[in-house]
Each structure stands twice: as C-alpha cells, then as structure tokens.
Amino acid sequence: MSDLAEGVARFQRDVFPAKARLFGHLASHHAPHTLFIGCSDARVVPELITGSEPGALFVVRTAGNLVPAHAQSADGVAASVEYAVAALGVSRVVVCGHSACGAMTALAEGHDLDATPAVAGWLRHADVSRARTLAPGDVPALVRQNVAAQLTNLATHPSVARALARNALTLHGWVYDIGTGHVEELATAGAPIAA
C-alpha cells in the first residue's frame, strides 16, 4: 500500500499544483468530449494513450472491452453509455481493443474458464466475434473482430441510436499495440472493419 500512498503524495506535491486551475474548473464542470470504452487491462491507460487531460474522456473499462447489446435490464456498462451520450453529450465513442488481450487470448485459445465462471459468462458477449474469426487461435484477428462486434452492440443502445440518427455522435474502433504504442483505426461510424 505504501507505493500507492507515495503516488498520492507525488500527485499532491507535483501534479496537482501544476494543474490547480484545471482541477478548479473541473470541480464544477463535467463535459468530456469522448466516451472511451477500453479493456480493464492495466497496460491500457486511455488518458496516456490519447494524451488527454483530466475531464476530456469519460472512460468505461471492461474485461475484453465488451459492450453488451441493449437489454431491458440495466447494467453498469449500459448506464455509463447512456449517461455519457444522453446526459453529457459526448460527440465520439471509441471502442479500443489491444494486443495481447487476456480475454481474447482465452477465447481464441479455448482456455478452461471453469474456475472463473463470472469471467466465462461475461466473455459470452464476444461469441459473435469468435464466430466471425476464421482462424482458430488468431488472437489479433479476434481482437479486431471483437472491436467491430462491440461497435455493433453499442449501436443497439437507444441513446446511441438516437444520437447517431441526429449525426450528433460518431463511433470509432481502435486497436492499441502495447509493444509499439501504435493505434490502428479499424472502423468509423458505419464504415467496414479493416481486413
């Protein structure tokens, strides 16, 4: 725990004073421009990858950057999407997959998930992605197909569908390569996914 406490001390000593004006503004204003849906993986840090200041991104992180299709029963992902789009009025949504994704690797390689039933249940939201990936074990292809499938799921959410119909929102699919820092844009709005 001391490493986290030391990090907080560094933040309070070095970072906060340098950005005190920004944080003062953010204390009463919340107007992010982008909803960033990424993986929970600790190696994927949306603000770092995009060079964004605090307040610019509304971030949702889930294992495998999964977005369940809209359903009558609300969940945390659906509530966050709705809030970002309908209440905050973000103008962009990015769904960002990444290299070496543990969730996609488990699916591509058929790992036994019996010991983690909640994970196994959650990863069923990637069934379409897995079905569309031609070569078994091809993690990079599954990562890309998964980004496309999650964009499709995202468009089933009523707030997203309404914003898309008004041309008030664009959807973007990205894949971030951890080893190189490269970000590949796979799809925008209704554009087809790259091969």
Catalytic residue among 61, 98, 144, 157: 98
3-state secondary structure of 175: strand
Q: Are 154 and 85 in contact (CB under 8 A)?
A: no
- Give the total residue count for the chain: 195
Beta bridge partners of 170: 92
* pTM confidence score: 0.92
Catalytic residue among 61, 70, 96, 101: 101
pLDDT in tens, 92-109: 999 999 999 999 999 999
Is 172 annotated as catalytic?
no
**Strand ranges, E, within 12-168:** 34-39, 57-62, 92-98
- Checking if the pLDDT of 127 tops 60, the result is yes
**Residue 1 CA, distance from chain mean position:** 27
Q: What's the average model confidence in pLDDT over 147-176? A: 96
pLDDT in tens, 70-94: 998 879 999 999 999 999 999 999 9
pLDDT on residue 74: 74
3-state secondary structure of 96: strand
Catalytic residue among 39, 61, 130, 144: 39
**pLDDT band for position 191 (50/70/90)?**
very low
- Checking if the pLDDT of 6 tops 80, the result is yes
Is 39 annotated as catalytic?
yes
Is 13 annotated as catalytic?
no
Q: What's the average model confidence in pLDDT over 132-152? A: 94
Is 75 annotated as catalytic?
no
**pLDDT band for position 189 (50/70/90)?**
low
pLDDT on residue 195: 36
Burial (CB count within 10 angstroms: exposed 0-12, middle 13-18, buried 19+), residue 6: exposed
**Strand ranges, E, within the chain:** 34-39, 57-62, 92-98, 170-176, 183-188
82's tokens: 């709705």
pLDDT in tens, 36-79: 999 999 999 999 999 999 999 999 999 999 999 999 887 999 99
What is the C-alpha separation between 140 and 124, in angstroms, rounded?
A: 18
pLDDT on residue 93: 97
47's tokens: 């603000």
Q: Are 146 and 97 in contact (CB under 8 A)?
A: yes
Is 96 annotated as catalytic?
no
**pLDDT band for position 136 (50/70/90)?**
confident
**Residue 30 CA, distance from chain mean position:** 19
Catalytic residue among 10, 25, 30, 43: 43
pLDDT on residue 188: 65
